[in-house]
Amino acid sequence: DGGITQSPKYLFRKEGQNVTLSCEQNLNHDAMYWYRQDPGQGLRLIYYSQIVNDFQKGDIAEGYSVSREKKESFPLTVTSAQKNPTAFYLCASSMEGQISDGYTFGSGTRLTVV
Amino acid sequence: GEDVEQSLFLSVREGDSSVINCTYTDSSSTYLYWYKQEPGAGLQLLTYIFSNMDMKQDQRLTVLLNKKDKHLSLRIADTQTGDSAIYFCAEGPGTASKLTFGTGTRLQVTL
C-alpha cells in the first residue's frame, strides 16, 4: 500500500544538538511539506518542496533546514538555533493536479528536548 | 494573508449531532477540506467540497458551504465516542497555491 512514513515516532534531543526527522513517501507525489503542531495553535508550515532539488520557506523556517534530493524523501533537520523545538512534527505530500485529494499526512514525530 | 478560524472546543453527547464551524478569508479557494486527527496521529482527510457547491453529504457527514460569508461547517450525525478527535478545516489552493489549515476544533463526545 502507498503511504507516507515518518520516523522515528518519538525523538529526544539534548540542548545544542541537531536532529533529523525522516519523511518518505511512495505515492509518487510531487510536493512535500513539513508542519509543526503545538497545542491550541494548529499547524504551522515550516518548509515545503514542489519539485526535487527545490524548496521554499514556510511561516516558521528559522532554526530548521531541509533537503529534497529524491522525490520520495524530504528530511527535516532541527538545528540548535531552534530555541523551542519541543513539538509534534507532521510531514505531508500532495500530487500536482489532484487538488481534491488534498494532502496525505504521515503519523508524526514527537520531538522532546531533554 | 490567508486565515482560517475555528473554535477550539466542542462537547456533545453520544447520539447527538455535532456541528463544527470554520471561517476563511481567501475567496479564490477552489476546495475546502475537513480533516480528522486522533491522539498522537497524523491528519486523515474526511471529506472535501468544491467551492461552487453549497452542500455535500457523505454518510454521517454533511458539509455546508456559504461562499458569500466564507463559512464552512461539518455536521456529524449520531456522534459516537470514536468521533472524539481534533477536526481541522483547510482551504486552498487559492492565491497561496497551497492549503491553509485552521487551528483545529477538539470534539469531545460524552456518554
**pLDDT tens digit string along B48-90?**
999 889 999 999 999 999 999 999 999 999 999 999 999 999 9
Which is more confident, A45 or A101? A45
Measured between beta carbons, the chain B residues lying within 8 angstroms of A93 are: none
The answer to whether A97 faces chain B, any CB pair under 8 Å, is: no
Q: In whole numbers, what is the pLDDT of chain B averaged over residues? A: 92
Which of A21, A29, A34, A37 to substitute to test the interface with B, most B CBs within 10 Å? Answer: A37
Determine which of B24, B29, B98, B106 to mutate to test the interface with A (most A C-beta atoms within 10 Å).
Answer: B98
Residues B32 and A48: their CA atoms lie apart, in Å, by 20
Question: Phi, psi (5° rounding) for residue B27?
Answer: -70, -10
- CB contact under 8 Å between B42 and A48, yes or no, is no
The CA distance from B35 to B10, in Å, is 16
pLDDT in tens, A17-35: 999 999 999 999 999 999 9
Report the number of secondary-structure helices (H) and strands (E) in chain A.
0, 11
Q: Who wins on pLDDT, A76 or B40?
A: A76
Distance (Å) from the alpha carbon of B85 to chain A's nearest alpha carbon? 13
A84 touches chain B (CB under 8 A): no
Q: Which residues of B touch A104 (CB under 8 A)?
A: 45
